[in-house]
């Protein structure tokens, strides 16, 4: 698709050895897709917001039903007007704009 993919891993097994947020600070990019632990997603989302770059994050939650019935994967989200509500990772995600997730 003509995109350059840059990868960072904590253990250095693939790509940059170190924290993803640190890597982003020193690497030019247009768009960020991230998956992993919430502290990392929080750091990456904060950095992208500071740099005015779009960021999409994939959330991981325990899922029992997978259809939005059990509420086991509920996460706090926010609308563009700042109002918060709960959505479901299984039904509404798992990929969300970092702007709409309360981390």
Could you list the residues that contact ligand FES (CB under 6 A)? 63-66, 68-73, 88, 90
Shortest Å distance, C-beta 69 to ligand FES: 6
Dist. CA 86–CA 43, nearest whole Å: 22
Q: Which is nearer to ligand FES, 21 or 90 (CB)?
A: 90
Q: Which is nearer to ligand FES, 31 or 64 (CB)?
A: 64
Backbone angles phi, psi at 77, to 5 degrees: -120, 165
Q: Which is nearer to ligand FES, 20 or 73 (CB)?
A: 73
CA atoms within 13 A on the CB side of 101: 26
Shortest Å distance, C-beta 100 to ligand FES: 17
| Number of other CB atoms surrounding residue 90 within 10 Å | 19
Shortest Å distance, C-beta 89 to ligand FES: 6
Shortest Å distance, C-beta 16 to ligand FES: 33
Q: Sign (positive/negative) of CA torsion 36, 65, 93, 79?
A: negative
Element (H, E) at 41: helix 38-50
Q: Which is nearer to ligand FES, 54 or 68 (CB)?
A: 68
């Amino acid at each position: 698709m003509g995109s350059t993919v840059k990868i960072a891993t904590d253990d250095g097994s693939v790509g940059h050895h170190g924290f993803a947020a640190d890597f982003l600070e020193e690497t030019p990019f247009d768009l960020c897709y991230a998956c992993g632990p919430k502290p990392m997603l929080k750091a990456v989302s904060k950095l992208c917001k500071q740099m005015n770059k779009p960021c999409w994050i994939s959330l991981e939650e325990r899922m029992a039903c997978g259809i939005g019935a059990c509420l086991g994967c509920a996460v706090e989200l926010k609308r563009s007007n700042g109002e918060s509500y709960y959505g479901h990772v299984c039904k509404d995600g798992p990929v969300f704009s970092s702007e709409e997730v309360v981390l």
